[in-house]
Amino acid sequence: MRAVRILNRSIRDSFKSVFRNLSLSTASIACTTITLILVAISLFLSYNVREVTNTLEHELTIVVYLKKEVTKEEKNKIESDLKTMPNVDSYKIKTKDEWKAEMKKESDTLEITLEYLEENPLLDSVIVTVKDVKDLKVTAEKIRQYDFVSSAEYGEGMVENIIGIFDAVSIGTFGIVIALVLVTAFLISNTIKLTIFSRKTQIEIKRLVGASNTAIKLPFIFEGFILGILGSIIPIIISIYGYTVLYNQTGGYVFTKIITLVRPFPFVFIVSGFLVLVGSCVGMLGSWRAVRKYLKI
């Protein structure tokens, strides 16, 4: 009970102090807000990139065109070879007639052209689905080795570029976030330092009348905690509304159908929880530093 009352009074003290040093508190809160907005962005980015990679891994295929003069034996050979290739998940034969049918459906011009030609100019093909998208290039190269293979195509470069860009952006934001976290912790620590200085007599009296060291430190730790929590309010609102709006506006797709966004619920709530956690930790990190450095008892 005694501990609960001390806790209560400490929290009350911390709130008073946040509002008493309003300008400094506001600066700390603003800095926390900016940091957490970036944390949110990097979370949304990195999580969606992971999703994209997953999608690609499932959907990415190599289209292998076989030369016109390919023999029945050669077709059998490539089928049996594909079965033994470690990175090949599955494959499907798509004959030139199937291609023709598909193309005819796609446009009228094509239909007329294809009908005009006596012989089907298209090639037989095998559509290969891979297990690991990172080894896509190697697998395609291997398939190209066959004499009877005309070409083996995949979204060459494009896929790797997208993933590469996302990776770079993720790493970049992560670096900025770390730097901002440190700056924020420092700013909060500075705010708490001033509180400690302005409460010198109070601390002295507390110590004199027999408050434990923990009881003396508690209000300052809470102050950092409160600053962190207050700083996470705006980022949370932005995350919940911003992401939901983005998702609804784009229909969940960015650029092409390859990149689908993660559904907003419960994703935004998980992100919000994480933001509160980061905010309060940054706040307490700052106050812990100030207490260690400036509260000599």
Binding site for other proteins (CB under 8 A): 1-3, 5-6, 9, 201-202, 204-213, 215, 297
Looking at the Cβ atoms of 16 and 50, the one nearer to other proteins is 16
Residue 291 C-beta: closest distance to other proteins, Å: 14
Residue 212 C-beta: closest distance to other proteins, Å: 5
Residue 280 C-beta: closest distance to other proteins, Å: 24
Please state, as a whole number, how many other Cβ atoms lie within 10 Å of the Cβ of residue 72.
7
Q: Which residues lie closer than 8 Å to 76 by C-beta, 6 or more apart?
A: none
Residue 197 C-beta: closest distance to other proteins, Å: 15
Q: What is the largest CA-CA distance in the chain?
A: 104
Q: Are the C-beta atoms of 200 and 207 separated by less than 8 Å? A: no
Residue 192 C-beta: closest distance to other proteins, Å: 19
- Report which secondary-structure segment, H or E, holds 150: strand 149-153
Looking at the Cβ atoms of 168 and 205, the one nearer to other proteins is 205
Residue with tokens 């705006």: 234
Q: Which SS3 state, helix, strand or coil, does residue 238 take?
A: helix
Looking at the Cβ atoms of 171 and 205, the one nearer to other proteins is 205
Looking at the Cβ atoms of 90 and 212, the one nearer to other proteins is 212
Looking at the Cβ atoms of 210 and 251, the one nearer to other proteins is 210
Q: Which SS3 state, helix, strand or coil, does residue 210 take?
A: coil
Token pair, residue 107, equals: 């446009």
